[in-house]
Amino acid sequence: MRVLLSTIGSRGDVQLILALAAKLKELGQEARICAPPDFREWVESFGISFVPVGQEVRQTASRPFAAQGPPTPEQMRQLMEETVAGQFAAIKEAARDCDVLVAGMSLQFALRSVAEWMQVPHVYAAWCPVTLPSPHHAPPPLPWVSTDGTIDNLTLWARDAQRWNDNFGAALNSSRASLGLEPVRDVRSHLFTDRPWLAADHVLGPWIKTDDLDVVQTGAWMMQDQRPLSAEIEAFLDAGETPVYFGFSSMSAPQDLSRTMITAARENGRRTIVSRGWAEVLLPDNEPDCLSIGEDNLQALFRRVAAVVHHGGAGTTTIAAMVGVPQVVVPQIWDQHYWAQRVQQLGIGTAHAPGAPTADSLTEALRRALNPDVAARARSVANSIRTDGAEVAARRLIDRN
């Protein structure tokens, strides 16, 4: 069986579909990944074929920490036309001779249409429950869409569906017409399907059943990272008290974020490991209580730190929960707000207020996360986090063919 897995997103999105691709390969299937060109070398290092789609996404790290307002209508129209047409061209080529197509996360405009054109099965997979329509929660917040908190969830989801139609409907149907396909009226329902998969842990991100969607929750798609920690990291870990990890992955960062993080750790009497991330966060000084690192094995590292301060990506949140380390989540966009809330609700860490943290706010959030009761709760919840989501998903794909 040949499977195409596609995503339009950052490293965290690609890492999740890479976990599924690796599991499919382990089970004797052929997997191919279609993703932004940033990730070719990384994906191919696992012996998995790669097809680029769209533009490099790493440039987003240079943008301000808080998301900017929307583009003008004309800019949006041009962007959507180019994005959708580019996806149709890339997916059509990448899907050649494939038996099933899998779309990871939203903004996958072409995959279902190409599957329909090829007459092969397809799956839409979400990483987070809150991104799927439900009367039990509101849509993920958009920075340029404000509400006063009095509008019910169904109305908010109806407005969300209208935005999908307004922004993407014309471009999607134009590309569908080029394949001889009928137009769609409801873009979001077309993309998400009525039986989406949810690649999130059942404890960390549970789905509440609804009448409208038959959601298949596979569990989070995680890949076992076997890389050893570098000698530099091992030496730092052995040189003093257990440090705190700070990392915002592919998110952008304000200039003073590094100093804010170091100050918060020092105020709590902790040493610091700072991941440079896509924003290339640099240490504010050369004191020996800080270490700057690149993209290392977080599954191993998180087991060796006192707390993890991060942006709230699905993968990072799941890894921290899986190894039982307290978290401080500083959400910025989209589903990160949900993961921050879940960490707080489960008692396994602290949800920082959205936006750029201050030294005082981060010091207090970290202080709460370092409470021994939170650490004990994190260890307890870790026993319930499943690690077989990628295998569950892989076997479902195999069994349906």
CATH (domain of 111)? 3.40.50.2000
pLDDT, residue 67, reads 46
Helices and strands (DSSP H and E) totals, the chain: 14, 13
pLDDT-derived band at 233 (thresholds 50, 70, 90) equals: very high
How high is the pLDDT of residue 7? 93
Residue 106 has pLDDT above 80, yes or no: no
* 226 falls within a domain: no
Q: Does 69 share its domain with 143?
A: yes
Residue 44 lies in a domain: yes
> Same structural domain for residues 170 and 238?
no
Q: Is the pLDDT of residue 11 over 90?
A: no
Q: Give residue-wise pLDDT tens across range 60-89.
A: 544 544 445 556 667 766 777 888 999 999
* Domain shared by 199 and 245, yes or no: no
Report percent pLDDT > 70 for the chain.
91
**Are 250 and 394 in the same domain?**
no
Instruction: Give domain status of residue 274, yes or no.
Output: yes
Kindly state the average pLDDT of the residues 331-337: 89
pLDDT at 252: 63
Is 285 found in the same domain as 144?
A: no
For residues 111-132, give the mean pLDDT.
Answer: 96
- At residue 70, the pLDDT reads 59
Is residue 148 over pLDDT 80? Answer: no
SS3 (DSSP) at 20: helix
Residues in CB range of 343: below 8 A, 6 or more apart: 312, 317, 321, 327, 329, 349, 350, 351
Mean pLDDT of the chain: 90
% of the chain surpassing 90 pLDDT: 75
Mean pLDDT score, 384-396:
96
Please check the confidence at residue 265 and state whether its pLDDT lies above 80. yes
Q: At what angle do helices 111-118 and 153-178 cross, to 10 degrees?
A: 50
Residues 119 and 142 in one domain: yes
**What band does 280 get if pLDDT is binned at 50, 70 and 90?**
confident
Distances (CA, A) of 162 to 157, 189, 193: 9, 11, 16
Pair 247, 196 in one domain: no
Cα 120 versus chain centre, distance: 27
Q: What is the pLDDT confidence band of residue 150, given thresholds at 50, 70 and 90?
A: confident
- Tell me how many domains the chain contains: 2
Residue 328 lies in a domain: yes
Distance CA 118, CA 111 (A): 10
**120 lies in the same domain as 179:** yes
pTM for the predicted model, two decimal places:
0.92
Q: Does 144 map to a domain?
A: yes
Instruction: Confirm whether 270 is domain-assigned.
Output: yes
Mean pLDDT of 189-211: 96
More confident residue, 283 or 138: 138
Q: What is the pLDDT of residues 285-311, one digit of tens each?
A: 889 999 999 888 999 999 999 999 999
pLDDT the model gives residue 83 = 86
Taking the C-alpha atoms of residue 283 and residue 292, their distance in angstroms, rounded to an integer, is 7
Residue 278 in domain: yes
Give me the pLDDT at residue 73, please.
Answer: 65
Give φ, ψ of 18 to 5 degrees: -65, -35
**Average pLDDT, stretch 160-177?**
93
Q: Give the bridge partners for 245, in sequence order.
A: 273, 308
pLDDT at 62: 46
Give me the pLDDT at residue 66, please: 46
The pLDDT of residue 281 is: 78
For residue 343, which of 364, 372, 368, 361 has the smallest C-alpha distance?
A: 368
Q: Do 189 and 271 belong to one domain? A: no
Instruction: Based on the fold, state whether residues 82 and 185 are members of the same structural domain.
Output: yes
The tokens describing 126, both together, are 């979400």
Whether residues 367 and 266 fall in one domain: yes
Residue 225 resides in a domain? no
pLDDT at position 69 is 55
Question: Residue 289 is part of which domain span?
Answer: 231-382
Cβ-defined contacts of 346-353 (< 8 Å, 24+): 346/203, 346/204, 346/321, 346/377, 346/381, 347/373, 347/374, 347/377, 347/381, 348/321, 348/374, 348/377, 348/378, 348/381, 349/307, 349/308, 349/320, 349/374, 349/378, 350/326, 350/374, 352/328
Residues 179 and 160 in one domain: yes
